[in-house]
Amino acid sequence: MADIKWTSIICVVAVAFAAAAVLTRILIPYLRKWAGQNIREEGPKAHLSKQGTPSMGGIAIVTAILIGSAFGGFFGHAMIIMDIGMLIFAAVGFLDDYLKVIKKENEGLKVKPKFAFQFIGALAIAVYIAYFSGFGTGMYIPFFKVTVDLGIWYVPFIVFTILAMVNAVNLTDGLDGLASGTTAIVSLFLMLVALKAGAAGSVGFCAAILGACLGFLVWNHHPAKVFMGDTGSLALGGAVTMAAVAMGMELFLPLMGLIYVAEALSVIIQVLYFKKTGGKRFFRMAPLHHHFELGGMKETRVALLFWSLTLLFCLIGYFAGI
């Protein structure tokens, strides 16, 4: 384990927390004026009361992560790569939010250009890491505790991993505090994995994510005063993925972030089943958190259940994988 001091880690978490909490509070009045959230009529009826809640709070999350990243002595080449990776997906989310909540274009950024921007960003990141970063093309396999060199398969694997996880985190953002709370837990355990591996850059970056998520959660817990929007959810997906990629531990993501995976799979299953059966639904509603809501669970209980499951998956991933 590298000589990484807990005082430095706590400093990063505290700075990112304070930055997120204060910036979100400052932004709320402006976002309420310019970026009120439109709630889908086909969604749970209980959510209609959220109409007009300010969105795009992810601006504060991203800014807080960047500020936190500069503290604790962790800033360096690895941190810059992770910051840039996060910013790429934050920019895509910001454009989508801008079109939806400010320009009032219901579809926002259309599916094809949105995926194209994400793909180009993921490809650029994968190529840079594989051939120019010095990180190498190795991948650590939990449980077996070995590192495998993916060689020419590294770039397509990283592109797939980034796209899958970024959009899975995006789908998890549907209940007050769900994405921010879940990502806080995942980033905490990724930080512990990085600490065990001596990956100082990822330690600092995950500490910044943790602090920013907790600071935002001050205003995002139920009943939410602000939503993160795609600006925040895509950025957080990019952030946790970049932290794992930077230390060659990508396979920790689907294990610790199994809730993200379940949310994404629920949408895929719902769509395929709907097409196959001519209009029938496998779940009451997708993503998965809405299925539980429509089954009678309160929004706060669903969020607490998903946080608890995430904690369990993270504990399994940490102790079985390192």
Query: How does pLDDT run across 139-161, given as a tens digit for each residue?
Result: 999 888 899 999 999 999 999 99
Q: Which two tokens stand for residue 285?
A: 């509603």
275's tokens: 């097409």
Evaluated on CA atoms 292, 294, 300, 303, the torsion sign reads positive
Provide the H-helix boundaries in 132-228.
154-172, 178-197, 200-220
**Token pair belonging to 68:** 């936190």
Report the predicted TM-score, pTM, of the whole model to 2 decimal places: 0.94
Q: What is the dihedral of CA 169, 60, 81, 77, to 10 degrees?
A: -140
pLDDT tens for 37-93 read: 565 555 565 665 677 799 999 999 999 999 999 998 899 999 999 999 999 999 999
pLDDT at 38: 60
Q: Model confidence over 151-195: pLDDT tens digits?
A: 999 999 999 999 999 999 999 998 999 999 999 999 999 999 999
| DSSP structure string for 89-133 | HHHHHHHHHIIIIIS--TT-S-HHHHHHHHHHHHHHHHHHHHHTS
